[in-house]
Structure 1
């Protein structure tokens, strides 16, 4: 199940990644986002950025000229003092 879908089809680098970041910022932890892109750079950029972010890439697939990513939104960061 996904909560939101971002169709970045037709957008070129860096827009699919930037729109993904903005969409995740507006979401709550635990929600899932599906991103659909056509820019080949997305296949590299989005997973690389997610690896450095708190968010998790749950699934990705390539179908013809489309790239699909399923992302779990996570909290931006945890407080170092235990959440107070």
Structure 2
């Protein structure tokens, strides 16, 4: 199987890292990873970036929006 016949899009790489690919396509990519060290390195870097972003920002994910960013409520009858 050539690399061209088994093209993996950037969207699929991100979906793979995020666990959002269908099982069949995930299995195909995992098989490819066994033979493609460059792809494995790239995906590893995306996992590291994903981990860093979660470590940095997950703690503020559910904080309420500050009042200064909520805007003014609409006035009735004006």
Q: TM-score range by the shorter chain?
A: 0.3 to 0.5
Q: Highest relative contact order (Cα 8 Å, sep 6+), 1 or 2?
A: 1
Higher helix share: 2
Tell me the TM-score normalized by structure 1: 0.33
Q: Which has the higher strand share?
A: 1
Give the TM-score taking structure 2 as reference length.
0.35
